[in-house]
Structure 1
Amino acid sequence: MSDALQKRLELLRDRVSVLVEARSAGDPTAGDPLRGLYVSAERVEHLLERRGQIPVQLDDAYGEAEPDDALAETAARFGLTLLDTHILLTALAPDVNRDFEPLYGYLNDDVGRRRASVALALDLAGLAPNDWTARARFHPRAPLLASGLLVLEDAERPLPGRGLRVPERVIAHLLGDEELDGELLGTVELLTAGQPTGPFASRLGALLRARATMIYLRGRAVESGTAVEALGAAGLPVLRYDPAHGDQHLVPVLLREARLRGAGVVVGPLPEKAGALVRALEPGALPPHAEPLVPGAVPVVLFGTEPFDPRWSAGGDVLCLDAPPGSADTGLLWAAELGRDAAEFDLPAAVAPYRLTPEQIRRAARTARTLAVLEGGPLTAAHVQRGARQQSAPALDRHARRVSPAVGWADLVLPAGPREQLEELVVRARQRERVLGQWGLRTGGGRGHGVVALFAGESGTGKTLAAEVVAGELGVDLYVVELSAVVDKYVGETEKNLERIFADADRTDAVLLFDEADAVFGKRSEVKEASDRYANLESAYLLQRLESFNGIAVLTTNLRANIDDAFTRRLDLVVDFPFPDIDQRLALWWQSLAGVPCADGVDPGPCAKDFALAGGSIRGAVVTAAYAAAGRGGRVTTDDLLTGAVREYRKAGRLVVGQDDL
């Protein structure tokens, strides 16, 4: 207990003593040990004769603030009057000092009622229960009750006889305990935001510092850290509340906790029907046009992806803003969390593909350090990327097949031109937030920050493998969209399925792969029958959705001519995968044989020269040869490779001259 609170309790005790002396003077039952358990005739006569023995009036010295005075600070934050502060202290006293219990029992004329009552609190302030201005301090909308600092008990009693109780969290705060309210555990996070890393968050912080208003940010506000950073820029700690993980009855507890701490509140993502939640939060904040300094106001930042419905707000005073993507430089947050531990690798390149909130970055950094300790080595980019992937939303698993990349640039056999384009794709994916967001090169029309590429080439030329290499280089997972789960015979269902995929991809740090994309992104045709019209509607939807896409997507096709020109115009890159020449085929044969036990003198050269196979077919031929060798318990020979090549040729329906039927 602080010295300031102890001093206030001593002053209160003096007032109690004065009132006890006044009450006991002339009371024939003052020394009766059973006083308070029954009412004797003498006691009735004394009560009829007694007038209000009132101690000295409250004065400014009683409410004067002192250093380290939690009660005075709380009174200022909640907008309490001097009388409110006195009532709160009176109700608090028996919870922190048991000496008040018997004294309160005596003054209540009931030894079983050892808490303050409304009448007792007013008597100690020199006020009568028939004073309407005094009774107004116990109205449900008055500061003490509306903010949850005080609870009125005994609802069946008249107001003067009702008991006063201070919630345990308020008592703990006044005693110096800053642990989060137990009711909020598991639902609310206490965050300490660093300095803002973007101008938008700085401007919001200045607004919230001047006026504790309610703001709705539409877009990826929390994902980019904007909502949390704005409150950090205002110099406030942050209470983050997710409505999906808590009941609405916790909102008053949340606002009380924010006021006790002098914190701001971040709430989101808002549910589809958020009216009741917003109206419950509104009493904590101020309308944008209110006076700057109003006690008890809490800055509230809401966020979500849906347009704000004005009917959600009781007063219509919520400030609605579109949160600009890429408004925060998360690289600074990563550097602050990892510090010197990340000196041995290129941290900005390692974390550039990830769009995480500040709290997610902190968790990812802790996970990365734990992984490094587990492996007994220094922190690496791989540890950081694994930690970051654990924080990315796994919602795409419901609609696509996840592939954890296990290949790299060395596994690709491509000419210089396509390889350079793939490297450019990686650069675009890493730097898109800087170029399109911070540098302002994003065009208008609601376009997103996505990167979309088309890989075109014959089957087996390495398109899917290249997508996996790009995902591995970025340190993210590859999600292959299963078209069977997307295309639906019913009108409108295909668009709904695609929207779910795109929406989840926008929230997930991953590479989205549409294999055989011409099945979905095909050319529009002249409307000759009803089915043509609906097919064109699907294409029109996809054209619009690619414009606003914020993720990384790769489309692959064997027939580039089948892709609509309107899609091609919206692509960032078109990479052509040529059929491999002899030298590239030989490199592919050797690469496929890298882990296979081979006989001495094995030579895939004749296969590379005589059989024009793509990389996928070459791998299939090596698999056939490996099974043949494993079946006889030996090693792969040149004849085994030749047999595998012939099989692949015939699978493609091509003629092999001079070979027996296999």
Structure 2
Amino acid sequence: MSHEEQYCLWESHIGSAAAELNGQLERIAVQFNLNHATIQAACDQFKIQNSKFKIQDSTQLWDFCRHNARNQLDHLAQPINATATWDDLVLPTPQRQLLGDIATHLRHKYKVYQQWGFAQKGVRGLGISALFYGASGTGKTMAAEVLAQEFRLDLYRIDLSRVVSKYIGETEKNLRRIFDAAETGSAILLFDEADALFGKRTQVQDSHDRHANIEVSYLLQRMEAYQGLAILTTNFQSALDSAFSRRIRFVVEFPFPGPEIRTQIWQRIFPPMTPTEDLNYQKLGQLNVAGGNIRNIALNAAFFAAAADEAVNMEHIYEATKREYQKLKKMLTNEEIEGWF
């Protein structure tokens, strides 16, 4: 069914309550691709709830639709509980602006695609596709969480290294199953480890190279037509070529954080309930690590402090830093901890 047909069904079954939903019915109709029976069940449940509590709350409808759509995808991908907000995400201004642009496209796609007629030109290119690239721990997954949390969408991680198959035709079959299931709820799809596919894009020298390029083209084609947001992540910019940039709407670099950004991350890393004592965030920003490592250090420091029945202090962070650097096989330099004690 088209979005217009689905909207007519929603409007018919919801009845007079539609006027009380402040335009949310249009957003539900364009976000979820549900059959007639499911739409009727959602409306019946909504009317029963509202006759009992006398509250017109569109989140009930939204959550019912999410629940039904979720059943299609849970066995194909890993759900991520999105709790991060814009305040948790520390990035330079250009990157935040690009993420804000993605949010704008998600927020106004009904108006542009349906009311302003862009969908009538064909489905190709209507998908909101993005590529996030940067070193591990720089915030790619958190950015996807922020978008999912703001728009009350389900977020699923798909490990492309597991989807890609050595058998001809199997990779496309795996991708088709994922996208077909996701279309029901237009969930945010996070294709992790995209290098597994990009690394196979080469000049065609034999049939295997040709098929590897077909797999990439199929993924990009489905991303262009997908009604939700599909995000590819990769650690290596060198894996990309101009063909990707042309067919993906947003390309966002997640740079390794400099001292100023690291200081801001440290200032936000501890929950308000965590007791801290004499933490020098400016000095902590000297540690030359990404945000993911900062979180690991902060968490370990909290456990050290809890074991000592103390507030988290610089000594606990120092001990946690040594453990994290040992794991990273890095040397902790004097410059990084200068002035800590």
Q: TM-score range by the shorter chain?
A: 0.7 to 0.9
Please say which of residues 497-506 and 637-646 is displaced more in the overlay: 637-646
1:479 matched to 2:258? The reply is no
Maintained 8 Å contact 1:463/1:556: yes
The residue type paired with residue 466 of structure 1 is A
Which residue pairs with 1:507 in the alignment? 184
Work out the CA distance in 1 between the residues paired with 2:26 and 2:84.
Answer: 19
* Gap change, CA 1:530 and 1:509, over 3 Å in 2: closer
The residue type paired with residue 364 of structure 1 is A
Work out the CA distance in 2 between the residues paired with 1:507 and 1:413.
Answer: 32
1:627 matched to 2:303? The reply is yes
Percent of pairs with identical residues: 35
Maintained 8 Å contact 1:460/1:614: yes
* Gap change, CA 1:522 and 1:442, over 3 Å in 2: farther
Judging by fraction of residues, say which structure has more helix. Answer: 2
Work out the CA distance in 2 between the residues paired with 1:372 and 1:405.
Answer: 28
Instruction: Name the SS for the 1:390 alignment partner.
Output: helix
Shift of 1:463: 0.8
Which residue pairs with 1:540 in the alignment? 217
The residue type paired with residue 32 of structure 2 is Y
Work out the CA distance in 2 between the residues paired with 1:370 and 1:419.
Answer: 42
The residue type paired with residue 565 of structure 1 is S
Aligned equivalent of 1:364, options 33, 37, 42: 42
The residue type paired with residue 318 of structure 2 is L
Maintained 8 Å contact 2:322/2:332: yes
Measured against aligned partners, the alpha-carbon deviations of 1:92-151 in whole angstroms (never above 9, x if no partner) come to xxxxxxxxxxxxxxxxxxxxxxxxxxxxxxxxxxxxxxxxxxxxxxxxxxxxxxxxxxxx
Alignment of 1:427-466 (within 5 A): 427-442=104-119, 447=124, 449-466=126-143
Which residue pairs with 2:168 in the alignment? 491
Which residue pairs with 1:353 in the alignment? 31
Maintained 8 Å contact 2:325/2:331: yes
Alignment of 1:4-15 (within 5 A): none
Which structure is larger by alpha-carbon Rg, 1 or 2? 1
Which residue pairs with 1:108 in the alignment? none
Aligned equivalent of 1:611, options 283, 287, 302: 287
The residue type paired with residue 459 of structure 1 is S
Measured against aligned partners, the alpha-carbon deviations of 1:490-548 in whole angstroms (never above 9, x if no partner) come to 22211111111122222333111101222224462123444323322322333433343
Instruction: Name the SS for the 1:553 alignment partner.
Output: strand
* Gap change, CA 1:410 and 1:383, over 3 Å in 2: farther
* Gap change, CA 1:466 and 1:382, over 3 Å in 2: farther
Work out the CA distance in 2 between the residues paired with 1:369 and 1:640.
Answer: 55
* Gap change, CA 1:585 and 1:494, over 3 Å in 2: same
1:413 matched to 2:124? The reply is no
Work out the CA distance in 2 between the residues paired with 1:446 and 1:382.
Answer: 28
Aligned equivalent of 2:3, options 201, 206, 224: 224
Matched positions, count: 334
Work out the CA distance in 2 between the residues paired with 1:534 and 1:632.
Answer: 58
Work out the CA distance in 2 between the residues paired with 1:334 and 1:653.
Answer: 61
Work out the CA distance in 2 between the residues paired with 1:647 and 1:424.
Answer: 39
Shift of 1:435: 2.0
1:656 matched to 2:312? The reply is no
Measured against aligned partners, the alpha-carbon deviations of 1:392-434 in whole angstroms (never above 9, x if no partner) come to 2522112101123222222212233222222221221233343
Maintained 8 Å contact 1:495/1:538: yes
Maintained 8 Å contact 1:372/1:383: no
Shift of 1:341: 5.0
* Gap change, CA 1:444 and 1:410, over 3 Å in 2: same
Shift of 1:633: 3.3
Instruction: Name the SS for the 1:423 alignment partner.
Output: helix
Instruction: Name the SS for the 1:394 alignment partner.
Output: helix
Aligned equivalent of 1:557, options 210, 213, 234: 234
Alignment of 1:279-298 (within 5 A): none
The residue type paired with residue 419 of structure 1 is R
Work out the CA distance in 2 between the residues paired with 1:337 and 1:534.
Answer: 54
* Gap change, CA 1:527 and 1:357, over 3 Å in 2: closer
* Gap change, CA 1:453 and 1:599, over 3 Å in 2: closer
Q: CA RMSD in A?
A: 3.3
Maintained 8 Å contact 1:604/1:638: no
Which residue pairs with 2:245 in the alignment? 568
Work out the CA distance in 2 between the residues paired with 1:335 and 1:586.
Answer: 51
Maintained 8 Å contact 1:453/1:554: yes
Long gaps (5+) in structure 1: 1-220, 230-327
1:520 matched to 2:197? The reply is yes
Alignment of 1:387-398 (within 5 A): 387-392=64-69, 394-398=71-75
Instruction: Name the SS for the 1:453 alignment partner.
Output: strand
Alignment of 1:107-256 (within 5 A): 221=1, 224=3, 226=5
Maintained 8 Å contact 2:263/2:282: yes
Shift of 1:590: 2.6
The TM-score normalised by the length of structure 1 is: 0.45
Instruction: Name the SS for the 2:99 alignment partner.
Output: helix
1:602 matched to 2:279? The reply is yes
Work out the CA distance in 1 between the residues paired with 2:145 and 2:267.
Answer: 21
* Gap change, CA 1:493 and 1:656, over 3 Å in 2: same
* Gap change, CA 1:446 and 1:362, over 3 Å in 2: closer
Long gaps (5+) in structure 2: none
* Gap change, CA 1:614 and 1:448, over 3 Å in 2: same
- Tell me which of the two structures has the higher relative contact order, counting C-alpha pairs closer than 8 angstroms and 6 or more residues apart: 2
Work out the CA distance in 1 between the residues paired with 2:166 and 2:200.
Answer: 18
Which residue pairs with 1:45 in the alignment? none
The TM-score normalised by the length of structure 2 is: 0.83
The residue type paired with residue 503 of structure 1 is D
* Gap change, CA 1:411 and 1:497, over 3 Å in 2: same
Work out the CA distance in 1 between the residues paired with 2:317 and 2:190.
Answer: 32
Measured against aligned partners, the alpha-carbon deviations of 1:572-617 in whole angstroms (never above 9, x if no partner) come to 1112223333332222113221245324323333111x21222111
Measured against aligned partners, the alpha-carbon deviations of 1:260-293 in whole angstroms (never above 9, x if no partner) come to xxxxxxxxxxxxxxxxxxxxxxxxxxxxxxxxxx
Maintained 8 Å contact 1:426/1:470: yes
Work out the CA distance in 2 between the residues paired with 1:431 and 1:357.
Answer: 24
